[in-house]
Structures are given as structure tokens and as C-alpha cells.
Structure 1
């Protein structure tokens, strides 16, 4: 009888995610406290009729919470982060924020445009990471649009002035987040400039599909990345320029593999360099007009999962290697190594300095666009390679 009840609950949860809903998605405004300088931080919660909700805050255009039902209909917040703005300010860890102006790494913080060298702050060893010491995740964005309807959305805007963090050009960025009744969360980053510059924007959400703070962490998540090659790096996480085949390596996720199966395999020097996975997989060689599948994630413990689609050529996969039990999140549970994973659709790291990588240059009159879509689901466990 108990088994029959469990099966009925599972079927009901799956039907809830698969069937249509007559209810419109809603966008509700709120506040998330004040910054140390007294400015208010707006929040917007997007909710659909299937029990999915996403809360975003204007500081860093950040995904603060993503609530999803599991295979039995039980809801949990699956995005790591803080429950107060003070911790986002004083203990930043890129939780759910937009990273830029150039996300990922720039070798020695330098790049050239038309023969002129620009220097950005170095904040990751000898290199620049995620835009420098005051990247886009650490600034307050304006809320310019909030909409309810078949698709609920919020648009944040930030104007990065010419010379900010050493980057040329005044860059105007819109970060558009939308949630529909198909359980699709779409994030679209759109940018224009008045002077030639470099741009690479992405989102840095940390995911634990068992639930933020769940004791089993994310190492049991089954990951698929449809990429034939990845970018090996030096010991400072700067790509060497080689496109290396994943075949026969711990970087082969072309079929579902548990993240934790090989994350500590020190026989591969790249794992030693990254203290786990912190590399870019090559899904394509250029930005495309539509979207392509970047990754699939499935949590056998809860049944939750998502497909991640984007127009970008690469995806950075980071296995949470540097969580050191010095911070805790919304559930008041300490974050440790392997408690979450990050998947970031983007251009390749250090692209402005690498021949053979897609261009990261943006000129006046052009529009930069990174569109990523999370297709959330709950269902049966897919096949796993053993």
C-alpha cells in the first residue's frame, strides 16, 4: 500500500510539471534590506502555477532563491545564497550573480584593443576574475521593468562607466529574467557600448538540487555535457590554447556521470590544477542565433533536474572546490567542498588574449547577447554509466 501511495505521489508531481496550467505567472516586488550606505535593495519574486518560484535581488542582479518541487511534490530552495543583504556585501561568493564586465579569467588582468593595452584589477592570483575587485555582482542595479502574465519577468539595468575596473567604454547592460508556465527560467543579458571594449557576461548560480544545505551535497548529481573537447589550463586556470579531446579522460560527460565519481582523480593534472573541475567545455566555436543544449543535470535523490540551453560557445563547469566551511547559507548549514555545482554558459576564458578563441570584442552599434534557459523538471532517473 505504501509503495502504491508513493507511486501515485510521484505520478502526480510529474503530471504537475508536464501538464499545462491555466494560471498566469506573477511577479511580486519587495525589498531585501539596505546596503551599508543606506540604499534600498529591491527584490522581485517570479512564481508560476506549478509551484516554481524564483527570487531575484537588485544587488548583482542576483538569483537569491529558486524553489522547485521534487518527484513527490515537496518543495525546496535549490540555489545557494544568503538570507540577508549584509552577507552578500561582506562575504561575497558570486552566489547567483551576474559576473562581468568580463566573466571568468583574464591573464594578468590585461587585454589589448587596437594595439592599446588595458589593465583590470588582479584578484585571482596573478589574474583577473569576474570583472575585477568590483565586478557586476557587487553593484546595485536599477529595476526598470516588472511584469506578470503568461510569462513573468523582471529587468535590471546597470550602466558601467568608461574606465570602470579599467575597461574602456560606457557599457549599458540589461539583465532580463523570465519564468513561464513550462517551468523555464530564461536569463538574457544584453549590452551595448559607446567605445570598443570586451564583454563576457554569465550567471554564477550555485545549484544543489537536493536542496540548499542538504547534507548529501551535489556530488551525486548526474551531469551531461555534450562537448567533444575542453580547454586545459595552466596552474592559474588560464587556458593553454589547446582544444583537448574529452575521450578517455575524467572530462568526458557525454553520457551521464556523477560529478563525484572522478572529481578527485589526481592522476589527471588538470584536476590537480583546479582542485576538481573548474574548466570550460567547448560546445561550439561561436555565438549562434538560437540556442543549443549546454548541459543536463539530474539529482537521483530528489528527481529534480534541468537542461541548460544557451547561444554561447562554451560552458564553465565548477564543482564547488573552494567552499571551505567558513560560510553558511539560508538554511544555516555550513557550505563545504562539493555542496553545489556551477554551470556558466559563456565565451571562453581569456578570449581577448587567445588566438583561435571566439572574439569577445564589442563595438559601438553592436549588441552583445547571452541568452540562457533552464528547463526545470522532476522525473525518473536517467541511465547512468557504471
Structure 2
């Protein structure tokens, strides 16, 4: 296992570093101490060819100017919070409204836009980069001083493990995820429309016109949201299902997982032979098929367009604070927040 560190850029008079972990089989993961951004994952295809399977940039300026959360950790709360406010113990907390009158992915200064402390950890068959950040009381309107750690670990079995931990000195909200856009074709050779996907989920959250959960939990049976048996992503994107049209001709929906750490999410690309198996202890995963990507910037020479990548954001359910029947995302004072998601890269 080899881990290197190099300067990636500078912001607010602070250096941004890129850390590259390379395992004994040549698989590489590069991540930044800015936003915990994963910029590259070089994974083998069925012929052993290593190519990048995530969307990202080669400069900090591009991340700051164009990135729709490429590869970043988002928080304090992933997803949307209706009206940019919530109530805990009778007190109303007002958050920045950074999308259509709602609060999205932690606000203007979410975890994706801050410098994290970074430490390299090495063991015999794995290497890790541990990022830590103290989010002060009142940051983006949230209560509590929250100490966060996010650890990326690459193993010699071509597995990426993301471990999240957090603790607050006040009752607050916390719901973290990683917002990597995957494309298993390699080096953005093709869109993700012909990727196959399987999700062990029999229900989704219905969304309204602002892409906020209505509170209704809908069965996937007989709909383009039924991934209990593998299906081509294109099938749903090209359907006329009202929820698909609502999200901009694609998916942007939370799926409730039936099981955990049981190969509950599997994505693969038949042509390259690459596969990705995701396991998590979170109750849900948001499938987003890059519907809002447009052509006003390039991603390493490739014009950004809808469906160039897809996200599988393991997390608590969006806007859970306004829906008591959803699993709670409230973190009590001195309670330990902990979440683990693994990404196993393989071949068919």
C-alpha cells in the first residue's frame, strides 16, 4: 500500500492537498482535504485496464466554480430541509435557503466547502486518510459544536470503506453522505444510461415539485423504481412516470433499504465489465442520475451533460426532521454519531 501527498491548490490562504492511496493491485483513490472530495478512483475493467470511474476535476478552481458536489462529503444534513428551518425542543433554527427557498446539503458553507485536517494511517493490507473538522455552534444556523471525522480506507481487496463519526455538545441534526458521481464505463467513455442497477428496496419516498418528500412512502411494484431485480437505468430515465418527469427526466429519489451490509446495492456496466457493490448501515440511499448536469463546463475534457454520472448517496432520509415517521436524524448532546458505507469494486 502506497500513500502520497501533494499540493492541489490554495484557498483562503490555506493549502489544499491531494492524497492518493494505491493498493498492491494498482487501484488508486485520490481525495482532497477540501470537502473530503474524492477526485479520482482508478478501478480495473474485465481486462485489468485501470481507468477513472468517478466525475471530478483537476483544479481547485473548477471545484469552486462548477462542482455540483462532485465527490464531496455533504452536511451537516444531506438533502433538503423544507423552508430552511426546523424546531428542536421548542426552538426554531433558521438555515440558509440555498435552493428554491429550501436548505440543501448543509447550506452555502456546507462540509463540501471547508478545509479539513488530514492524517494518513497505514496498516499492512490497507491505507487510510482520516479527515477531521470542528463545525462551530451556529455554523449555517445549526446548533452545537460538532466534531466530525470522515475516514477513507482503501484495502487490498479493492474496497473503499467510508466511516463517519460525529459528536455534538448540544442537541442538533446530523446526516452525512458522500456525493460521488460514478460512471463505470471508464474515463467518461459513455453515459450511465446503459448501466445496470439492483437495489434491495421495495419502497421509495414520493417527492413534490421542489423535490422534497411529501411524507408518502410508495411501493416500487410495477414502477420504474423497482430495482429489486436488476434493470437498465435507461428504462426509468426514458419512462413517462410522473415522478421521473418531476425530477427532470431521471431519478433523484430516496429508496428505503430492506437490508443492510448484505450487497444491498449493485451497479455494473456490461461493456467494461466493471461492478460496484455498496453496503451500508444507513436506512436509505438516494439515487440521482445527474439530471441537472448541463453543458456549461467540461469534466476533464468531456462536456458535462445529463446522465454522465450517477450518485448512490447512502444516508438518513431527507427532511426527516419534518416527518416524525421517518428514522430520526436528531443527534443528542454527547451522543456518538456513527455510519459506515463500503464500496467494493470488481468485475463481472
Give me the TM-score of the superposition, normalised by structure 1: 0.88
**Does residue 336 in structure 1 map to residue 286 in structure 2?**
no
Q: Which runs of 5+ in 2 are unaligned?
A: none
**Does residue 237 in structure 1 map to residue 215 in structure 2?**
no
Q: Residues 1-386 of structure 1 correspond to what in structure 2 (within 5 A)?
A: 25-35=1-11, 37-214=12-189, 216-266=190-240, 268-275=241-248, 276-284=250-258, 291-330=261-300, 332-379=301-348
- Looking at structure 2, the residues matched to 92 and 329 of structure 1 have their Cα atoms a distance apart, in angstroms, of 10
Q: Which has the higher strand share?
A: 2
- Looking at structure 1, the residues matched to 71 and 187 of structure 2 have their Cα atoms a distance apart, in angstroms, of 13
Structure number with greater Rg is 1
Contact preservation (8 Å) 2:170, 2:334? no
Contact preservation (8 Å) 1:292, 1:311? no
Contact preservation (8 Å) 1:294, 1:345? no
- Looking at structure 2, the residues matched to 305 and 315 of structure 1 have their Cα atoms a distance apart, in angstroms, of 18
SS for the counterpart of 1:33 is strand
SS for the counterpart of 2:213 is coil
Change (3 A) 1:89 1:148: farther
SS for the counterpart of 1:232 is strand
SS for the counterpart of 1:359 is coil
- Looking at structure 1, the residues matched to 172 and 34 of structure 2 have their Cα atoms a distance apart, in angstroms, of 24
- Looking at structure 2, the residues matched to 30 and 294 of structure 1 have their Cα atoms a distance apart, in angstroms, of 36
Q: Deviations over 1:198-222 (max 9, x none)?
A: 00100000011012331x2111100
Contact preservation (8 Å) 1:231, 1:281? yes
Contact preservation (8 Å) 2:35, 2:114? yes
Over 2 Å off, 4+ runs: 144-149, 290-294
- Looking at structure 2, the residues matched to 236 and 318 of structure 1 have their Cα atoms a distance apart, in angstroms, of 15
CA shift, 1:292, in A, is: 4.0
- Looking at structure 2, the residues matched to 98 and 294 of structure 1 have their Cα atoms a distance apart, in angstroms, of 21
CA shift, 1:264, in A, is: 2.8
CA shift, 1:172, in A, is: 0.7
CA shift, 1:69, in A, is: 1.1
Q: Deviations over 1:205-252 (max 9, x none)?
A: 0011012331x2111100001101010111111111111100000110
SS for the counterpart of 2:140 is helix
Q: Deviations over 1:308-364 (max 9, x none)?
A: 00000000000110011112112x111111111000100001001102000101112
SS for the counterpart of 1:31 is strand
CA shift, 1:133, in A, is: 1.2
